[in-house]
Structure 1
Amino acid sequence: MSVKHSLLALLYEKPRHGYELKTGFEELVQGMWPLNAGQVYTTLDRLERDEFVTSPGHDKKDRKLYTITNAGQEELWSWLEKPVGRSLLKDEFYFKFLCASHVSYENKQTMIRNQKETMLKDVLHLTHLKKQMVIMDNKTMKMLIEGALLHLEADLKWLDMIADV
């Protein structure tokens, strides 16, 4: 997740001050990834240094406002167009399973069962969240949740597959 680019996306919409960016980010992700205020201001400092944002001044409450520059918009578009690489074999559970096999760990079935239980809890949580997104008519977040559910479904099938080995 790129905080830098999410702040640029929010600034593309309209000029904002730091706290507005923090709350805008949390609204964008439906509160699923809280953002530290310090991270917002550190990122804004870097964005300003790199000339991706500029400050036209302060608002009526003396809060520093930020706007996206042309260079910032180009950076945002470039990031949006670039495909995302995935570390498919660097999943922590995959590595645990690899290590357990390497040392002839005898409780691999328990390991797998515990992982499945955790994933099933995630499925329940995401299913509940998906229903909330339907009620809120948030189609984009609903699609993201559906994608996460499909990944979990595939991982659960893989756990069933390795449980038989």
Structure 2
Amino acid sequence: MSIRHSLLALLQDQPRYGYQLRVEFENRTGSAWPLNIGQVYTTLDRLERDGLVSKDGSDGEGHVIYSITATGKADVQGWFAAPVERNNPPRNELAIKLALAVTLPGVDVQAVIQAQRVVSIRALQDYTKARRDTTASARSADTAWLLVLDSLIFQTEAEVRWLDLCEARMIQQAQSAGKAAARKPSNGVTADEAAPLIADNRK
């Protein structure tokens, strides 16, 4: 998530201080990705250092107001115009967890998958209910939140389907391993391994 460009976009709308930026960001995205206020001010310091924003005095209550510069406007316009790159996808903790689980002994992969599926389906139900409630209100201000909800719903649906695929793959592997073990005689040589030896002996 580009906090840098999100803050620039909000400053392009109008000058604001840090806490206002945080509140505006969370209001417009339905608080799906809450921001830490320290993170906001750290990002503003970097934006000022890079000449993308400037301090615009205070509001009389001790809040420093930030304004976007011409360079900042060009930067955020470029961000809106460019597609989001997929070359380096963000780390997916669930995918990493399952990738490690299947390679380590003693981890019940089926249990990991099932526990996640329960949480993912519950989240999907919550997102779907929130979308239904938001759609019923029919306020134009809710359009941004509906876009975020749709994104969350599609991502969660894909996650549940992926978990189903992971479980099916684990079952298939277990069945294949069981068949291989059943075919293996007491001498430890499988039928596939023995076939070429038998053929050589018959020559």
Using structure 1 for the length normalisation, give the TM-score.
0.85
| SS of the residue 2:102 aligns to | helix
**Structure 1 residue ranges, 4+ long, deviating more than 6 angstroms after superposition:** none
| SS of the residue 1:35 aligns to | coil
What is the match of residue 142 of structure 1? 146
Q: 1:52-74: per-residue Cα shift (whole Å, max 9, x none)?
A: 11223222435322111110011
What is the match of residue 159 of structure 1? 163
| SS of the residue 1:41 aligns to | helix
| SS of the residue 2:85 aligns to | coil
Would the alpha carbon gap of residues 105 and 136 (structure 1) be closer, same or farther in structure 2, given more than 3 Å must change? farther
Looking at structure 2, the residues matched to 68 and 83 of structure 1 have their Cα atoms a distance apart, in angstroms, of: 22
Looking at structure 1, the residues matched to 89 and 62 of structure 2 have their Cα atoms a distance apart, in angstroms, of: 47
RMSD (Å) for aligned C-alpha atoms: 2.3
1:101 Cα deviation (Å)? 2.4
What is the match of residue 95 of structure 1? 96
Q: Which 5+ residue runs of structure 1 have no aligned equivalent?
A: none
Between stretches 63-72 and 51-60, larger displacement belongs to 51-60
1:5 Cα deviation (Å)? 1.2
**Number of paired residues?**
165
| SS of the residue 2:34 aligns to | coil
Counterpart residue type for residue 32 of structure 1: A
1:110-121 correspondence runs (5 A)? 110-121=111-122
Looking at structure 1, the residues matched to 102 and 148 of structure 2 have their Cα atoms a distance apart, in angstroms, of: 34
Q: Which 5+ residue runs of structure 2 have no aligned equivalent?
A: 170-203
Would the alpha carbon gap of residues 133 and 15 (structure 1) be closer, same or farther in structure 2, given more than 3 Å must change? same
Counterpart residue type for residue 75 of structure 2: E
